[in-house]
Structure formats: C-alpha cells, structure tokens
Structure 1
C-alpha cells in the first residue's frame, strides 16, 4: 500500500496537465491533493465503485503544527522476524526497527516503527519504514483499525532523531474496501491521546 503513495506526486503532475473540464482536486496541502488525486483515479483507487462514483475528496483534520513533532529515535538491535497479524489470513514478515519517544500536548508517547522484510528484498523500497498507530479518536473521528505513517530511513536526521508529521497520515485500504488485506496495528502502538491531525474516518455511501 505505501508503495503506491510515493508515486502520487507524478500522478498529481499528470492530473494538472489534463485538468481542463475536470473537477479540481481538493486538499489543504500538496499531500492531501496527491492523496485525493490517487483515490479519484479509477484505475488505482481502492474505493468501491459506488463510493468512487460519489467521491469528492477524503476528509482530514485541520492542519495543526502541534502534531509535527521531533521524536527521539532508538534503534532496536537484533530484533527477531515475526508474522504481523492482518485483517485476513495473510501473515507478512516484519521486524521491529526502532522506538520513537515524543510529547503530544505535554503527554509522553512512545511508538514502535516496523520494517517489512519483503521490502528489504526490493532495492526501490529497502529504506521504507512502517508506523501504524491508534489513538483516542480511533473508532470515532478516525478509522478504528488505526492509521499509518510512512517513514524512510533517510528521514532519520541523526541516529536518534526523527520528525513525525501526523498531518500526513493515511488509512489502510481496508478502511475503504474489505477485499484488501491490511496489517493490524499492534496493541503497543496505541496512543492515549487524541491525534486530531491527518486523515479522518471514511464515510461510505
């Protein structure tokens, strides 16, 4: 899923070059516009046909700079490979890559970053990291199964620092269509705070 999100910039350029007579792509930021452009594209969108027909744009919380945080990063050495639970019987292999510690609204938080072992075998995606989380908006204002954030090893500024932008989060495809198999957010990655930033729950038609 995350692989598709990183090609959205090129899709947005293509859309802007062929936009005459078409609806304007909505979004408060370039990230939101790129995400909406991708979901609007019938050849790639995970939306069901009925939802795609009525699609005007994904819903997001208002951009909030307080949810762009500098986190302390701690690498997890010699982590064992494990099978991550999904919404189906599929069991993709992951490793715990590191821990990030940060504050949200004065509250201490910790999340675990994961590394897909399938991605490691692909030169294009070997630097991709996966950060799933739930919070106190999950199941109400945001998707109950949690939200995702993509991080790359190159995003880690130093050995112990990484910027987390919760405004740039996305839902698993399962939030839109139950035919997909999506990793379930591990219990340890629940934040006891409301993350009112990023993607909201999808209201199906």
Structure 2
C-alpha cells in the first residue's frame, strides 16, 4: 500500500512539473533553439532589461519559397583578409566561394566566407559564414543585415547546398552594442525582399 501511495504521489508530481514547464516558443525546431538560447541569461546577447521582458524573437512566417538549392563555386587561392566589424576588431577571413541560386524567379549570388580563427576551434571548424542584406534591411529586418550558417559537411560532392533563409539570424549587435560583429560586405546585397528568418528587434 505504501508503495502504491508513493507511486500515485510521484505521478502527480511529474504531471504538475510537466504542466508547469513552459513550452519553447517557435514554429520550428530552429526557432525554438534560438529562442531558448536568447532566454538563457548565460548565452543570451540581450541586455538585462530586454531579457527581463523577453517572450521570443519575432520571425517572418516560415515560407518554403525561401529554401533553395545553391551551386557553390569555390574560390581558389583566396587571400586571407581582415574583415571590417562594428568595432576596431579585425578578424581574419577567407573568401570560401560564391553561391549561385534562384529566389522568386530571380537569379542571385552571394559570397560565402570562412573564419580563419574558427579553424582552430573544434566546435566551429565546419562553419561557413554567409552574411547578407536585402530589400527588407533597415525596415522589417535589421539594417546591418542577417547571417546564415552553412556547414561544410552539408555541401554535396557536386557543389550543391541547401540554403534555408528561414534559418537566418541577426548579429548580436542588433541586440547589444557591446558586441563586435562583422559588417556585411556591400556585394552581398540581395535585390529582393527576403521575408524569412528573424525580424528586426524592438528594444525596450
């Protein structure tokens, strides 16, 4: 009988805990993970007052129109250069290649980069850096542009790779000016409205 009572109490406790725990905000796994990291004070770029009121980032509706297959043409013998940032910091990058793709019937091109500092970091060595601006920048999306991470292991043998603009994010500078963020090169402007991914952040 004691065992049965204990079991009933345990089940009711678990039930209460599961109901009390707030569900992660976001329409997709990507959005939920991003919101989770921004809600966590140990990983969030938000200022204290913004973190206090944080309910979740504002995203454009998820749209399959902004998922496209790009063709990567690697840049051979690319020189290492210092990328401009929002501060005096000048991180080292190389142009990894050019991506050719179509969005909404328009043929577009973006240059993708590889951080030379990240090559030494086991956690980030497979990351490629894709910054861009578009015709929503400075209005519905952050004026400094948005970023997309492309993984080396996601590039197929024929040089094709899926670009999902729904999984784009703002540089930390969009939330807090204490950060140093790479500036989007002018040549990485898309002459189209990319209504996908994260929107501009309304600071408190």
**In 1: Cα distance, 2:58 partner to 2:175 partner:** 13
Where in structure 2 are the equivalents of 1:10-25 lying within 5 Å? 21-25=20-24
Matched, 1:41 2:16: no
Q: Find the residue that maps to 2:31 and give its secondary structure.
A: helix
Q: Find the residue that maps to 1:36 and give its secondary structure.
A: helix
What residue number does 2:58 align with?
Answer: 59
Q: 1:43 Cα deviation (Å)? A: 1.6
- Give the TM-score taking structure 2 as reference length: 0.89
What residue number does 1:155 align with?
Answer: 154
Matched, 1:139 2:138: yes
Q: 1:158 Cα deviation (Å)? A: 2.3
Q: Cα distance 1:159–1:121, how it changes in 2: closer, same or farther (>3 A)? A: farther
Q: Find the residue that maps to 1:101 and give its secondary structure.
A: strand
Matched, 1:97 2:96: yes
- Which ranges of 4 or more aligned residues in structure 1 deviate by more than 6 Å? none
Mean Cα deviation higher: 156-165 or 68-77? 156-165
Q: 1:20 Cα deviation (Å)? A: 5.4
Q: Find the residue that maps to 1:167 and give its secondary structure.
A: helix
Matched, 1:167 2:159: no
- 5+ long unaligned stretches in structure 2: 1-16
| 1:160-188 superposed Cα distances (whole Å, 9 cap, x missing partner) | 21110000001000000000000000001
**In 2: Cα distance, 1:149 partner to 1:54 partner:** 26
What count of residue pairs does the alignment treat as equivalent? 188
- 5+ long unaligned stretches in structure 1: 1-17
